[in-house]
Structure 1
């Protein structure tokens, strides 16, 4: 792939020239530079990246008493969610011991 020095758009080949379809800028093609470009066939697929589950890591808990009457845990996982309309956010909690869920009131 080659990008236009004038506008940053992706350029396309037209014979011995790179042509920008956005601003009509043209540049001569360089066979040595093109040989150094990695093609899709030459790329390595490492698979999907690992995603950390931050909601289940003890370092991501907060001191918050569980509202369940039969649980005396004082640690909860939490996440912050935007309220519809974007006026403010609400914190959602999940007890690390019993899994009870509640929101900040």
Structure 2
């Protein structure tokens, strides 16, 4: 169950990062509210997952999901640049997440 909660926490991190971008420096109310709500949810789920998962594993996987998910969301929804080197960097993060999960 902790792994499911950690995955959900990571997905919520992607949502709050995307909403933060959409808030335009907290000048738009709805994206700012979405960011705050999903941020609290993400941190809350991470905290619950950490009850039974090691700190380093949980935090690394949470940030990795957020980083790769935000990269994909930026490319997919915002038309951000994609290059072989950026894709390679994202794949290295995914490899780290998988390795950390297997090692736990």
Q: Please, what TM-score do these two structures have when normalized by structure 1?
A: 0.21
Richer in strand (by share): 1
Rg larger for = 1
